[in-house]
Amino acid sequence: MGLGWDDLGNLNDYTSKEDIAARLQELGDSDSSKANDATANFDFKESINIGDVIIAKKGRSAYLGYGIVTSNYYYDETVTLYKHKRKVNWIKNGHWESEHSIVLKTLTDITNIPYKPNPSILASKAIMDLINAPISNIMNQQSINQILYGPPGTGKTFKLKDEYFTRYTTKETSISSEQHFKNIVSECSWWQVIAIALIQSGKCKVSEIANHSWVVQKAAQSNSNTVRPTIWGQLQSHTVDKCEYVNVKSKQQPFIFNKTEDSFWEILEEEAKENAPELYEIIDSVENFNPSSDKKIERYVFTTFHQSYSYEDFIEGIKPIMQDTDGQLLYQIEDGVFKKLCLQAELDPENRYAIFIDEINRGNVSSIFGELITLIEQDKRKGKVNELSTILPYSKSSFSVPQNVDIYGTMNTADRSVEALDTALRRRFSFVEMLPNPDLLKDINIEGINLKTLLETINERIEVLVDRDHTIGHAFFINDNTLEQLRNTFANKIIPLLQEYFYGNYSKMEMVIGSAFFEKKEVSKVKFAAKSEDFEAEGQVYHIKNISDTSVMPDKDFTSALNNLISGES
């Protein structure tokens, strides 16, 4: 959540409400007390606590949702408006008309105001309706398909981690025992849920195992049409060698199942406790669910696209499995990262899920997404008016994308090694540009060199010589506090990046960072082995100095080189 009055700057610079009021008067050139405005800013910084419930309102007519505060106050210079921030885990959003006019104050503490259907009391029926409304009714909001794009070092991946991940993270105390059970099953393999079914039920036929709650839940999460064959296969693969009623050669650890003469299946307790003791811990975690406020539930996955990333990694594919016993190679259909997330989200419609794709333009997105390029559109999601589903090629199962799955990506606009983002996918995403923000470096001065000025100077020249997409992000310098760190940044990040940008055209690099970083040799005549006559050449040969070596470029020379870079002197 954000608060206005950006001209105040960082509220941490003020020690009291009176200081804020005085600054507001100064900014507005006014004699009014500014008491209410000062209180709003002071309370936003000091009075709100992590864990507080925040209810958002629209004017005096409606409430828009509520959430839980998850951070202390911070000042965000990366945005244009509403720079005073606190992170919030928004639980519900929508539109609830109030039965009376809502108070105008920007921030109002309603902690101790009881519900009374009286226009003079702030707490209202609309608030109670908001808080008590089923979450599933609220989560049916527009799906988010968004790509953050910009030059390298502008904080795209950092923004995902710092701001977006928390939207899909809750404490274990916020989930029900039923949801905890679903989460545990999603982490179990097929042989584990089958083993748990036998531990809890004793000797069973396959049909009884198939109807056990753990197996039923696993089947629902896997979207499987072959549950009984899967159960048969897993039972036989993990049967003990001494069982004379199973003649399967290809087996896998652990060996814990046994088949009786009358075709009942059982789990051998001694073998299970020795070879798979985690089974009993898993059962206990569900039967004696004791949620911890320290444990986080993450409803998102993070992946990075690359040239070898495939449809099989993303949706589903056939994967090889090497048998431990005889080295035989088997194959099975395995769900990819996005399909697994969608199956989880479909079973938990009360919460939103997300996939974060770093470097989305480095993969062959048409091949990776396949038929999902259409299915991820907001109006084509499951339950929407134009809902679409498809039959997946390997599992032959019907698949559609749930409404409560959001897709985020990052894209480096300076990466020439990959093709532009697929046009079909581009039309299905909104784009948020992230440019270098030199203001974040304005307070960093090293040996008289202001890093904001340094970055602005470099980027101004790059933008003229190449384009804006190849400028350098503030993140390259954000952690530099010493001359040694700045030297390492230049040697290991800035200069190699410029070499890539200019394809070895060192004269243009010289135009950006100056002559001091190069050794130049005049060339007039060179004798080549394959030529009968000398090849006439004129010009200069450039060699980049090893600036990491202080004997090659002492600190005073490095500092001088940076000052010359900023001033434009040779």
- The set of residues, in sequence order, having a beta carbon less than 8 Å from that of 246 and lying 6+ positions away, is 236, 239, 259
Q: What is the pLDDT of residue 295?
A: 82
Average pLDDT for residues 287-311, to the nearest whole number? 89
Q: Token pair for residue 368?
A: 């990776």
Segment holding 356, helix H or strand E: strand 353-358
Q: What is the pLDDT of residue 397?
A: 87
Q: Name the band, by pLDDT with cuts 50, 70 and 90, for residue 224.
A: low
* Closest-CA residue to 2 (of 51, 75, 96): 75
- At CA 59, angle to CA 58 and CA 62, rounded to 5? 45
Rounded to whole angstroms, how far apart are CA atoms 52 and 44?
Answer: 12
- At CA 190, angle to CA 186 and CA 191, rounded to 5? 130
* Closest-CA residue to 55 (of 96, 17, 27): 96
Q: What percent of the chain has pLDDT over 70?
A: 89
* Closest-CA residue to 233 (of 190, 204, 268): 190
Q: What is the pLDDT of residues 11-26, one digit of tens each?
A: 999 989 999 999 998 8
Q: Are strands 145-150 and 62-69 parallel, antiparallel or unpaired?
A: unpaired
Q: Name the band, by pLDDT with cuts 50, 70 and 90, for residue 121.
A: very low
Residue type, 19: D
Instruction: Say which DSSP state 204 is in.
Output: B
44, 84 in Cβ contact below 8 A?
yes
Beta bridge partner(s), residue 97? 62
CA dihedral 97, 100, 104, 109 (to 10 degrees): -90
Q: What is the pLDDT of residue 453?
A: 95
Does pLDDT of 323 surpass 70? Answer: no
Pick left, alpha or beta for residue 420 (phi over 0 → left; psi -120 to 50 → alpha; otherwise beta). beta
* Closest-CA residue to 503 (of 466, 554, 547): 466
Q: Is pLDDT larger for residue 322 or for residue 494? A: 494
Q: Is pLDDT larger for residue 146 or for residue 130? A: 146
Does pLDDT of 418 surpass 50? Answer: no
Rounded to whole angstroms, how far apart are CA atoms 378 and 380?
Answer: 6
157 by DSSP, 3-state: which? helix
Segment holding 171, helix H or strand E: strand 169-171
Average pLDDT for residues 97-106, to the nearest whole number? 78
Q: How far from chain centre, in Å, is Cα 315?
A: 19
Give the DSSP per-residue string, 257-313: EEE-TTS-EEE-HHHHHHH-THHHHHHHHHHT----TT-EEE-EEEEE--TT--HHH
Q: What percent of the chain has pLDDT over 90?
A: 43
Q: Report pTM.
A: 0.69
Q: What is the pLDDT of residues 349-396, one digit of tens each?
A: 878 899 999 999 888 888 999 989 889 998 899 888 889 999 999 888
408, 144 in Cβ contact below 8 A?
yes
Rounded to whole angstroms, how far apart are CA atoms 218 and 182?
Answer: 8
Beta bridge partner(s), residue 545? none
57, 64 in Cβ contact below 8 A?
yes
Rounded to whole angstroms, how far apart are CA atoms 472 and 78?
Answer: 16
Q: Token pair for residue 498?
A: 């410029």
* Closest-CA residue to 303 (of 260, 352, 272, 337): 337
Q: What is the pLDDT of residues 225-263, one digit of tens each?
A: 678 888 998 999 899 988 888 888 778 889 999 999 898
Q: What is the pLDDT of residue 59?
A: 82
Instruction: Say which DSSP state 403 is in.
Output: T
Give the largest Cα separation in the chain, rounded. 103
Does pLDDT of 317 surpass 60? Answer: yes
364, 383 in Cβ contact below 8 A?
no
Rounded to whole angstroms, how far apart are CA atoms 347 and 354?
Answer: 14
Q: Name the band, by pLDDT with cuts 50, 70 and 90, for residue 123.
A: low
